[in-house]
Amino acid sequence: MNIIVCVKQVPNTNDVRINHDTGTLIRDGVDSIINPDDLNALEEALQIKDSRDDVKVTVLSMGPPQAKNALMESLAMGADKAILVSDRAFAGSDTWATATVLASAIKKIGDYDIIFCGRQAIDGDTAQVGPEIAEFLDLPQITYVMDLEIQKDKVVATRSFESGTMVIESRMPVLLSAIKELNHPRFMDIRRIYEAHENEEMFEMWSAKDIEVDLTQIGVKNSPTKVYKTFVPTREFSGKKLTGTPKELANKCFNEILHLNIV
Amino acid sequence: MSNAKVNQIKDLSEYKGVCIVAQHQDSKNLPISFELIHEGMKLAKKREARLTVLILGYKIDDAVNEIAHYGADEVIYFENELLKDYSTDLYTKTVSDYLKKNKFEIVIFGASSIGRDFAPRVAARIGTGLVADCTKLDIHEEDGRFLQTRPAFGGNLMATIVCPNDRPQMATVRPGVMETATRLEEKSVVTLIKPDIALGDIIAKTLEIIYDKSKHVSLADADIIVSGGRGMKNKEGFELLEELAEVIGGTVGASRVAVDEGWIDHSRQVGQTGQTVRPIVYIACGISGAIQHMVGISDSDFIIAINKNPTAPIMERANLAVEGDLFKVIPELIKEIKEHKGMA
Amino acid sequence: MNFDLTNEQIMVTKAARRFAEEVCEPIAAEIDKEHRFPRETFELLSKYGFVGTGFPKEYGGTGNDKIAQLIVVEEIAKACMATSSILSIHQGMVNCLLKFGNEKQRDEYIRPLLCDGVVGAFALTEDNAGSDASNIHTTAVLEGDDYIINGTKRFITGAGQAGLYIVLAYTEPKLKTRGITAFIVDPKTEGFSVGKIEDKMGICASHTGELVFEDVRVPKENMLGKYNQGFKVALASIDDARVLTVGAQCLGVAESALDLAVEYAKSRVQFGKPVVLKQGIQWYIAEMATKIEATKWMTYYAAQMIQDGKRVTKQCAMVKLYASETAREVVERALQIHGGYGYMKDYAIERMYRDIKIAELYEGTNEIQKLVISREVIGKV
């Protein structure tokens, strides 16, 4: 059984701070980590590997050369092989372009029974790449997977939604996207850290030339969605004090809450 | 591999009109549908175009007729027994087929877990850009482009996105943020369509749907926390907080005092000897603000304190200090929120 | 002079830090209070290869990387000194087996100790034999093909938890330190029992106790190293232990104490301002940070020398002396910065204060370290 896990190296957005003067992110001193949902996808793939004899787990990522770190960590956790697709031509890709590249890379890898993604990345927060890859490869998909069972020739997944869960089954090959509730990712095995560095065959880097990708559909220029502007959400310390009747207080308080864009 | 490509359209002006994809459950329209209609109408007005509502299902005439009272120019009801429950394959096919034949300028979905499941597939199938989880939508004053604003980097940054070369411009909209449409006397035209779908189109098959009312978010992940301290006085006080939490879409937390007094379970404790939280908003009710508690909430984006005592330490550290009797203010606040959400 | 960590070492740091935060930190206070040996933690440390860090691949280790070994102990110590003691003292015993075990012994014992969660312990100290190791009274008398061991050991880390012990006993008391032999003892052997587990001031989760040997019969094959070579066996692994146990954990504890103090000082508002703005506090913090920096490089340097197989007795004693004193001073100052709150068990610094004192006492008291250092410096007189 072949499982391909798509991972993304992201800045730890919990540690990201904003430069209020320029309205941009301060990335200095912010750790790069494997996107948390992707870790759940990888963990599930590794659990499937633990439970059977015939499973190969390949980790795939599109990113700059530094994204190799995320892939080495995936190998240390137990993946068999890691592939980084990296090329200047991919820079600035939106989800369409990213999914295009990853789908082409997956086609090059060849055999697969399951493509496992994390639901969404903590920097982009779109949750679109997984389903778009599925569409490009003409695969069925099950997203928001919180429980998974592999049967002889199909998967049965429990999918989370706002009001509860759905049980969905699908033949393979299939694309799945994992959420936090699926499992608890394991630690790296220290011995595998050394193995991953010593065994050169475990990690490969591909460029645009190595995958047959339509260059007119990738990169910042060809991405259908483009950033018009960015700005910092205004949540400065206002230190406001309110007095008044309960009704007045509730009304003023409510208006403040509205501005936070969460209600 | 899908044949769709982007950057192919020669004449963008062929694409006109705003379309929203409604959602329902248990034969009732979900609030997001009305939020989408409100936004859709605003956008359609600015583009001087029509608003169309798509709704998919089976034997949901009541919901269809109801949604037709909210001001759309047309409601398209795709009816088929196979559409009774959500299916990625069928919903994607139905909506994609329709959008391929009907050239809309803008199409918006709800960013519910279902919307976020099939909107990207529709976008990938028809070959256009999609912007996820928007909290603000607008039309550019000068060039008429669809401006889609959404949070990125875990909410640390807001980005306004455009889709200049492809149509329709598609977005999913975060539920619970936009205003909701008003019900009108007039009824829109309802068109019934029998979509070209068959059992064989379903590859990922839903076997069972299990509804679970008691789902709640863990404190560590919560975006909104409503928390109580000594000022809650007893267990019943926390019931009031539960109500506020439910209506605002948040989770209940507590200070150590409240847990020690047995008013709420230890799993809800926030602070030095409880959990550290990092919500967007932390509403501290009847909490004095001892350092052990403040340490657990210092990463909150916005702290609101409701307290009778203006000199309580937390009143100095809160972004918004509400000086009042929480037992009077909170019921009023609950009322305000319910009204806003059209939940009266 | 390359001071950079290798890629592998950077990843080891990340892995160890995550382990410390997710496994050790949440239960640190609890296991201290309950005096509970964290067996599950030790098993996870074995499973994920932390125990084997720095040990040969053929026995299930990672390969020789003493810096990585140090890093693991340092990171664990930041969360829980007791767990770091359990880990590193166990590793010290394995190191001993590695250095002096014959092929058969290494093949049989080392893998389970590195990979399978078997705890190892080293038994030298007795009631009357601390700094003066030659004053032990445990004896090993040859009887046919076995040695019969009689005596009592005291203050042994891992007592009752270990699945294997290295025991030092007199085979020829008249020869003093040249008449001691080391033996590998299976705790299941008849006559062996665990006595009192000490009620300590700190690192309570690490069990320190008494071992009682009543005619314990140990086959000749279990002799570790050569006959009467026992003292050499004990001394040979002590250098490494001073750096990779004490140095590493003191560094971790001190770093953690400083972090806690700075965090507290930033959030504690008195007289309208956070106390971190007071120059007095800032000076304390500067002094603490500088001492930690010195400790760090001293310790890492010694570890590199051990890795390179150099003779490092002086350096190791210096590291042990300096790191333990520094850590105790830093922890004390950190608690002071916490004010009254630092005295409360709600705050981790309280436990660190109790934990850190042992560092100046075990693995050779600091007075012994000074003896070792002065001998190396002064030379023969």
> Does residue B186 share a domain with residue B53?
yes
**Chain C within 8 Å of B292 (Cβ-Cβ)?**
yes
- Average the pLDDT over B101-105 and give the result: 96
**In terms of pLDDT, which residue wins out, A260 or C164?**
C164
- Residue B143 contacts by C-beta under 8 Å, 6 or more apart in sequence? none
* Percent of chain B's residues with pLDDT above 70: 97
> Which of B295, B297, B300, B317 is most worth mutating to test chain C (most C CB atoms within 10 A of its CB)?
B295
CB contact under 8 A, A132 and B121: yes
Cis peptide leading into residue B331 (ω within 30°): no
B1 pLDDT above the threshold of 50: no
Residue C103 makes CB contacts below 8 A (sequence gap 6+) with none
Q: In the prediction, which pLDDT does C236 show?
A: 86
CATH number at residue C146: 2.40.110.10
Same domain, B183 and B230: no
What are the chain A neighbours of B92 within 8 Å (beta carbons)?
Answer: 135
**Of B97-106, B170-179, C20-29, where does mean pLDDT reach its minimum?**
B170-179
**Side-chain half-sphere CA neighbours of B308 within 13 A:** 10
What range defines the domain where residue C170 resides?
121-230
So what's the ipTM on this one? 0.92
Residue B118: closest CA among chain A residues belongs to which residue? A131
Q: Which two tokens stand for residue A92?
A: 């600035």
Check CB contact under 8 Å for A191 and C61: yes
Q: Which of B92, B129, B208 sits opposite A225 (nearest CB)?
A: B129
Residue B335 lies in a domain: yes
Q: Which chains have 3 or more CB–CB distances shorter than 8 Å to chain A?
A: B, C
In this structure, the answer to whether residues C138 and C170 fall within a common structural domain is: yes
pLDDT, residue B344, reads 46
Which residues from B are below 8 Å from C267, CB to CB? 291, 294-295, 298
Tell me whether residues C12 and A187 touch, CB distance under 8 A. no
> Same domain for C358 and C282?
yes
Show which of residues 337-366 on chain C sit within 8 Å of chain B, judged by CB atoms. Answer: 341, 346-347
Q: Is B336 among the domain residues?
A: yes
Q: Which pLDDT value is given to residue B161?
A: 96
Asked if pLDDT for residue A161 goes beyond 90, the answer is no
Statement: residue B39 has pLDDT above 50: yes
Q: Would residue B210 count as lying in a domain?
A: no
pLDDT at A100: 96
Average pLDDT over residues B263-276: 85
Same domain, B76 and B120: yes
Work out the pLDDT band at B343, boundaries 50, 70, 90. low
> Is pLDDT of A255 > 90?
no
Position C100 in a domain: yes
Shortest CA distance from B213: residue in chain A? A163
* Same domain, residue pair B140 and B254: no
Q: Could you tell me the pLDDT band of residue B78, with boundaries at 50, 70 and 90? A: very high
Q: State the pLDDT confidence band at A12, using cuts at 50, 70 and 90.
A: confident
CB contact under 8 A, C267 and B292: no
Residue B208 falls inside a structural domain? no
Assign A34 a pLDDT band (cuts: 50, 70, 90): very high
Of the pLDDT bands very low, low, confident and very high (cuts 50, 70, 90), residue A169 is very high
Q: How many CA atoms lie within 13 A of B137 on its CB side?
A: 33
Angle (deg, nearest 10), helices C348-356 and C248-267: 150
In a shared domain, residues C341 and C245: yes
Note whether B105 and B239 are same-domain residues: no
Scanning every residue of chain C, which has its alpha carbon at the shortest distance from the alpha carbon of B293?
Answer: C267
C131 φ/ψ angles, rounded to the nearest 5 degrees:
-60, -35
Domain contains C226 = yes
Q: How many domains does chain B divide into?
A: 2
**Could you tell me if residue B2 is inside a domain?**
no
Interface test with C, best of B291, B299, B314 (most C CBs within 10 A): B291
Distance from CA of A246 to the nearest CA of B (A): 5
Could you tell me if B73 and B162 lie in one domain?
yes
Q: How many helices (H) and strands (E) does chain B have?
A: 9, 18
A157 and chain C in contact, CB less than 8 A: no
Q: Using the predicted structure, report yes or no on whether residue B215 has a pLDDT greater than 70.
A: no
Residue C1, domain member (yes or no): no
Report d(CA C317, CA C128) in Å as an integer.
23
Domain that holds residue B178: 12-201
**Domain-embedded: residue C2:** no
Total residue length of chain A? 263
SS (H, E, C) chain A: CEEEEECCEEECCCCCEEECCCCEEECCCCCEEECHHHHHHHHHHHHHHHHCCCCEEEEEEECCHHHHHHHHHHHHHCCCEEEEECCHHHCCCCHHHHHHHHHHHHHHHCCCCEEEEECCCCCCCCCCHHHHHHHHCCCCEEEEEEEEEECCCEEEEEEEECCEEEEEEEECCEEEEECHHHCCCCCCCHHHHHHHHHCHHHEEEECHHHCCCCHHHCHHHHCCCEEEEEECCCCCCCCEEECCCHHHHHHHHHHHHHHCCCC
Determine contact: C370 vs chain A, CB below 8 A: no
Please tell me the number of Cα atoms within 13 Å of A199 on its side-chain side: 16
The predicted structure's pLDDT at residue A239: 78
pLDDT above 50 for C307: yes
Cβ pair C149, C171 in contact under 8 A: no
**Same-domain check for residues C218 and C300:** no
The reply to whether B240 and B294 lie within a common domain is yes
- Residues C355 and C263 both lie in one domain: yes
Q: Cα separation of A174 and B82, whole Å?
A: 21
Task: List pLDDT tens digits, range A94-136.
Answer: 999 999 999 999 999 999 999 999 999 988 889 999 999 999 9
Of C230, C262, C283, the domain-final residue: C230
Domains defined for chain A, CATH in brackets: 2-222 (3.40.50.620)
CA dist C101 and C224 (Å) reads 6
Say if B173 is an interface residue toward chain C (CB within 8 Å). Answer: no
For C104-146, write each residue's pLDDT tens digit. 999 999 999 999 999 999 999 999 999 998 899 999 999 999 9
B299 touches chain C (CB under 8 A): no
> Of A130, A246, A256, which has the smallest distance from its Cβ to B325's Cβ?
A246
Q: Are residues C270 and C154 in the same domain?
A: no
Last residue of a domain, one of B149, B166, B201: B201
Q: What is the pLDDT of residue B221?
A: 77
Domain boundary among B137, B169, B201: B201
Q: What is the C-alpha separation between B339 and B241, in angstroms, rounded? A: 18
Regarding whether C130 and C85 lie in a shared domain, the answer is no
Residues C245 and C357 in one domain: yes
Q: Name the one residue in this structure whose structure tokens are 């190296």.
A: A9
Q: Which residue has the higher pLDDT, C215 or B265?
A: C215
Chains that touch B (3 or more CB pairs under 8 A): A, C
Q: Rounded CA gap, B22 and A164, in Å?
A: 19
C128 contacts chain B (CB < 8 A): no
CATH code of B261's domain = 3.40.50.1220
Tell if the CB–CB gap between B294 and C267 is shorter than 8 Å: yes
Q: Does residue B230 share a domain with residue B182?
A: no
CB-CB neighbors (< 8 A) of B299 in chain C:
none
Percentage, residues of chain B above pLDDT 90: 70
**A159 vs C: CB within 8 A:** no
Same-domain pairing of B40 and B67: yes
Instruction: Name the band, by pLDDT with cuts 50, 70 and 90, for residue B311.
Output: confident
Shared-domain flag, residues C257 and C365: yes
A255: number of Cβ within 10 Å: 10
Interface check for B298 against chain C (CB to CB < 8 A): the answer is: yes
**Which CATH number goes with the domain that contains C267?**
1.20.140.10
- β-bridge mates for residue A150, sequence order: A155
B45 plus B156 within the same structural domain? yes
Q: Are residues C39 and C166 in the same domain?
A: no
Chain A residues with CB under 8 Å of B319 CB are: 235, 237-240
Token readout for B118 is: 């099939």
Does residue C281 share a domain with residue C158? no
pLDDT score of C319: 98
Q: Is residue B93 part of a domain?
A: yes
If asked whether residues B27 and B156 sit together in one domain, one would say yes
Report the catalytic residues of C: 363
Closest Cβ–Cβ partner in A72, A190, A197 for C50: A190
Nearest CA in chain C to A186: C48
CATH code for the domain of C29? 1.10.540.10
Residue B48 lies in a domain: yes
C183 and C130 belong to one structural domain = yes
B275 near C CB under 8 A = no
- The candidate with the shortest Cα–Cα distance to A8, out of A54, A56, A74, A103, is A74
CA distance C51 to C70: 11
Q: What is the pLDDT of residues B151-160, one digit of tens each?
A: 887 777 889 9
A246-259 vs B326-340: helix axis angle to the nearest 10? 50
Is residue C111 within 8 angstroms of chain A, CB to CB?
A: no
Q: Which of C230, C264, C291 is the last residue of a domain?
A: C230
Q: Which two tokens stand for residue C42?
A: 């030790």
Which among B201, B235, B252 is the end of a domain?
Answer: B201
Last residue of a domain, one of C208, C230, C252: C230
Do B151 and B268 fall within a single domain? no
The total domain count for chain C is 3
Task: Give long-range contacts, CB 8 A cutoff, 24+ apart: B143-147.
Answer: B144/B47, B145/B169, B146/B43, B146/B105, B146/B106, B146/B171, B147/A228
Query: What predicted TM-score, i.e. pTM, was given to this entire model?
Result: 0.88
